[in-house]
Amino acid sequence: MASQPVEDNQARFAVHVTAESHFSWLRTRLSVERTMMAWIRTSIACIGFGFTIVQFFDRLDSMQGVAEALRPQAPRYVGLALIAAGILALAISLIQYRWGVRYLWSAPYRPIAGAQAHEMRTPILALAVILMLTGLLAFGVVLFRVA
C-alpha cells in the first residue's frame, strides 16, 4: 500500500502559537545544536587519534631497542582511516544539521520560533568548517609525508 505524500506540514501538524509551543521549539532547536556539538567532538577525537597513531608509531620506529614492526605501514593506514572517518562524519553531520535547522525555520513553524524573521546564526557552522579544513590538512600531511 503506497502512502500519499504530504504537501506541507500544516496538513500533518496543527501549529498553535503558545508559550508551550515556543518553548518546545526552543528545546528542539537547542537539541539540534547539542547533537551537532556531539558530532564535532566525535570528529575531533577521530581526527586527533588518527594523527596521533601515525605520529606515535613514527617516533617508536626511530627509537633504539625497539623491534621492527611486522607491518610498518599499518599505523599509517589506520591513522588515515580514522582521519577520513572524522572528516566524513563531520560532513554528514553538517548536512543533517542544516536540514534540521531549515525544517525548524520553515514557514509553518516560524511563528512559534520567536520574534526573529530569519534563522539564528551560531558559530557552530564556522567551527565545523574550520575543523574539516584541519582534518583535510592532517590527512594530506599523513598521506604525502616524505619518509
Question: In tens digits, what is the pLDDT along the chain, a chain of 147 residues?
Answer: 444 444 555 556 777 888 888 898 889 999 999 999 999 999 999 999 999 998 888 777 666 666 676 676 788 899 999 999 999 999 999 999 999 998 988 888 888 887 666 666 788 989 999 999 999 999 999 989 844
pLDDT (0 to 100) of residue 66? 60
- CA separation for the pair 89, 43 (Å, rounded): 6
- CA separation for the pair 24, 45 (Å, rounded): 32
pLDDT (0 to 100) of residue 72? 66
Exposure of 29 in the CB half-sphere (CA atoms within 13 A): 20
List the grid coordinates of 143.
598521506
- CA separation for the pair 70, 54 (Å, rounded): 15
pLDDT (0 to 100) of residue 117? 60
pLDDT (0 to 100) of residue 49? 95
Cα 143–144–147 angle (5° rounding)? 105
pLDDT (0 to 100) of residue 69? 60
With left for phi above 0 and alpha for psi between -120 and 50, is residue 114 left, alpha or beta? left
pLDDT (0 to 100) of residue 44? 96
DSSP 3: P
pLDDT (0 to 100) of residue 91? 96
- CA separation for the pair 61, 54 (Å, rounded): 11
- CA separation for the pair 59, 7 (Å, rounded): 60
Q: Return the CA Rg of the chain.
A: 22
